[in-house]
Amino acid sequence: MLEINLPEVVAEVTACCEAYERALVANDVAALQDFFWDSPQAIRYGVGEQLYGAGAISAFRSARVINFSAREVVRFELLGLGRDCAVSMLEFTVVVDGRVRRGRQTQVWARIDGAGWRITSAHVSHAASPDDTLDRFAESAAATLGLPLAAGHRPGVIAHLGVTAALAGQLLDFPLPAATEIAPVFTP
């Protein structure tokens, strides 16, 4: 019977995932290459690329110039499947061109003879999140109004605008009587 989340499997693969995250943030290309299974059967789907085989994955890593220093893991889940396989799934945020992007990453980890835990299969995507729409709106609205939107303030502003958008959406969905004036006069 398949044993789910054996403690030693969870501990070992979680440590691997944390090391992978550190290597990614540091863009330690050699370390990143080493996490993958050295096999033509290793596959990695990135946000914009499909890479078949360890060679293709390594070539892509070596050529890429990235800065993931602002990457943060928002949620991490690990599923141990027996003694030799585990699946890690996480949500993350990164800052790309000064904008916050949300993303998801799935990795299949297998215990490879003679090599230990390695990633056999991976998939990374960016969420098609409303944050991006808000981001573009905030930028153009701020420019129109002559308001500064410093890089350090931007994520907080977008987050608060997102909360307002969600609440305003609920209000816009509420079936108010059509006769309720657009600019009502208010006295208590």
| Contact positions vs another protein (CB under 8 A) | 137-138, 141-142, 145-150, 153, 156-161, 163-165, 167-168, 170-172, 174, 176-177, 180-184, 186-188
Instruction: Report the nearest approach of another protein to the CB of residue 73 (Å).
Output: 18
Looking at the Cβ atoms of 128 and 176, the one nearer to another protein is 176
Instruction: Report the nearest approach of another protein to the CB of residue 72 (Å).
Output: 16
Looking at the Cβ atoms of 87 and 161, the one nearer to another protein is 161
Question: To 5 degrees, how large is the angle CA 93–CA 47–CA 135?
Answer: 45
Instruction: Report the nearest approach of another protein to the CB of residue 183 (Å).
Output: 7
Instruction: Categorise residue 18: left if φ over 0, alpha if ψ from -120 to 50, beta otherwise.
Output: alpha
Looking at the Cβ atoms of 65 and 170, the one nearer to another protein is 170
Instruction: Report the nearest approach of another protein to the CB of residue 187 (Å).
Output: 7
Looking at the Cβ atoms of 114 and 146, the one nearer to another protein is 146
Instruction: Report the nearest approach of another protein to the CB of residue 36 (Å).
Output: 36
- Residues with Cβ within 8 Å of 157's Cβ and at least 6 positions away in sequence, in order, are 138, 149
Question: To 5 degrees, how large is the angle CA 68–CA 33–CA 77?
Answer: 60
Looking at the Cβ atoms of 124 and 165, the one nearer to another protein is 165
8 A C-beta contact, residue 120 and residue 42: yes
